[in-house]
Amino acid sequence: MKAQRYGIIGLRRASASLQSTAPKIALPWVLARQIPLAGSFGNSNSSHGARRLYSQSPGLKERLSDAAQNEASNPAMAFPCLDALETRSATLEARSLSSGPEPAYTVGDVEIFRYEEPFLLDWGGVLPRFEIAYETWGQMNSDKSNVILLHTGLSASSHAHSTEDNPQPGWWEKFIGPEKCLDTNRYFIVCTNVIGGCFGSTGPSDIDPADSQRYATRFPIVTIEDMVRAQFKLLEGLGVEKLYASVGSSMGGMQSLAAGVLFPHKVGRIVSISGCARSHPYSIAMRHTQRQVLMMDPNWNRGFYYGKIPPHAGMKLAREIATVTYRSGPEWEQRFGRRRADSTKPPALCPDFLIETYLDHAGEKFCLTYDPNSLLYISKAMDLFDLGLTNQESAALRRQSGSLTEINNASCSLTLPDVPYAERTDTETQLDGSEISVPADSRPPQDLIAGLAALRDIPTLVMGVASDILFPAWQQREVANALRLAGNRNVTHVELSEEQSMFGHDTFLLDLQNVGGNVKNFLG
């Protein structure tokens, strides 16, 4: 390309002529050429490791002479956000030396269910025994037919509603009570902390009975299905043979579906809000970054931070990233816009815009209230979630064998089939046309349709929110479509539009009217 050559030559000429005339005509600029040394990591001490073809222009030193000798051109920046982290580390270290640093994450009375047999997990691990913390509201009827199992999101405890013994408001306080969405006049509601958690149920912060040390990262990989199987041991303990309904949002929406798939004859109805039937790669990516930031905190210490300074900085930032995925752009546009926390101050690299101080605050509130290892294990369980038939069959195989040896079997691959879009079967085409009008390009994979076939006879409410980034609305459409294509004639699908809710994934915690109203109607 001759054209290029000319361009460069032209500039080089310009450079030369300007250099020689610069002192005379006092142009403030010079054109020159930079040629770096071979390789990108040179040993030269010059800036950029580069040789410059110009000589230093006179006059510059004079211009700078009004600045004090050896004083920087600009002041150093302050980092109050890092100061705060260092202060907290020091406080936590002092506490660990004086009184042992372990927080009890549970903040009120809970019931405890203890299962004394070894419990084999889906990926081959074992819990020699486990406990489940749970709370209940309402009254169980005589034939135990009015029980609703309420599943939580990732970091929630069993405290969905205040109790006499723990009057603190729960995470679904306004959704539970007499004549509320979950009506305590009619239903007996059970909410548990999941296994792997830190609010009373067995998790990584607990003692491994085998060696009396904390599990830490010797805790086995758990799955959503493991959590549900443990919950059904509790139901067994309570003498409950069949749930009136399995209800949950977010991770709880995964569990709610998994309950029906694992125990189709023990689940009367399913409500799955802002959940999914298989985690998709974008959600995995967003959880991956949270786990990585936590694991990179040196205080995490590969999970063995108990008795030491916990990885509070990593936890804080993981929560900030999570918070970005919990809400939506339009909400923040209205709520924060481009306002700065203090517009009289110059911009800073520490939190500066109001949205940044909001995220910072969300991280601060969370960073010492949840066990970091629990976050890792439960976040991972969500990634592994896949109700497709292939994955279910692999898990069943591993459960039978009860050991890790089987997972080297090729049949256990989590890979989806090469041809996920199979032709419709006769059964499907016989269904009510209006219910199965699924456009070809949004047809769920056949593997998922087959995997949800167990829910064929269970009335199901699937809700999604258009502004949700973490569990986007197409995932709930996928669940509803897969259920219908699997032959379920009792699928109610509700999608809240951007106009109805701009609260993104968090809508299930906030929208009493749309979320609460639809759940109440569905439960009947």
Which residues are part of the catalytic machinery?
A: 250, 468, 505
CB of 327 to a second copy, least distance (A): 9
* Binding-site member from 20, 24, 25, 47 for a second copy (CB under 8 A): 47
Dmax (CA) of the chain: 102
**Per-residue x/- track, 152-191, a second copy (CB under 8 A):** -----------xxx-----------xx-----xx--x---
* Binding-site member from 159, 229, 291, 505 for a second copy (CB under 8 A): 291
Q: What are the start-end ranges of the E strands in 270-329?
A: 270-273
* Binding-site member from 347, 433, 439, 524 for a second copy (CB under 8 A): 347
Site for a second copy in 264-283 (CB under 8 A): 278-282
CB of 214 to a second copy, least distance (A): 8
- Paired with 299 in beta bridges are none
Site for a second copy in 109-148 (CB under 8 A): 109-118, 123-129, 133, 136-140
Residue whose CB is less far from a second copy, 288 or 520: 288
Interface segment toward a second copy; rule CB under 8 A; list 245-253, 261-269, 284-292, 460-468: 284-292
Q: What are the start-end ranges of the E strands in 466-518?
A: 491-496
Antiparallel, parallel or unpaired: β 213-214 and 207-208: antiparallel
Q: What is the 3-state secondary structure (H, E, C) of 143-176?
A: CCCCEEEEECCCCCCCCCCCCCCCCCCCCCHHHE
Site for a second copy in 455-514 (CB under 8 A): 469, 472
Residue whose CB is less far from a second copy, 79 or 430: 79
Q: Is 302 in the site for a second copy (CB under 8 A)?
A: yes
Q: What is the 3-state secondary structure (H, E, C) of 382-404?
A: HHHCECCHHHHHHHHHHHHHCCH
Q: Is 241 in the site for a second copy (CB under 8 A)?
A: no
Site for a second copy in 356-415 (CB under 8 A): 356, 359, 369, 376, 380, 383-384, 386, 404, 407-408, 410, 412-415
* Binding-site member from 346, 433, 439, 524 for a second copy (CB under 8 A): 346
In one letter, which amino acid is 383? D
Q: Is 465 in contact with 494 (CB distance < 8 Å)?
A: no
Residue whose CB is less far from a second copy, 333 or 457: 333
* Binding-site member from 20, 70, 142, 434 for a second copy (CB under 8 A): 70
Residue whose CB is less far from a second copy, 31 or 431: 31
**How many residues are present in the chain?**
524
* Binding-site member from 338, 419, 423, 432 for a second copy (CB under 8 A): 338
* Binding-site member from 174, 288, 399, 456 for a second copy (CB under 8 A): 288
End-to-end CA distance of the chain: 75
Nearest to 473 by CA among 463, 459, 484, 458: 463
Give the C-alpha separation, 361 to 64, whole Å: 42
Give the C-alpha separation, 201 to 42, whole Å: 55
Interface segment toward a second copy; rule CB under 8 A; list 254-262, 334-342, 426-434, 489-497: 334-342
CB of 429 to a second copy, least distance (A): 26
**What does the block give as tokens for 440?**
């070809």
CB of 407 to a second copy, least distance (A): 6
- Tell me the chain's radius of gyration from C-alpha atoms: 29
Nearest to 135 by CA among 168, 102, 179: 168
Site for a second copy in 428-447 (CB under 8 A): none
**What does the block give as tokens for 469?**
């980034």
CB of 426 to a second copy, least distance (A): 28
Give the C-alpha separation, 158 to 110, whole Å: 8
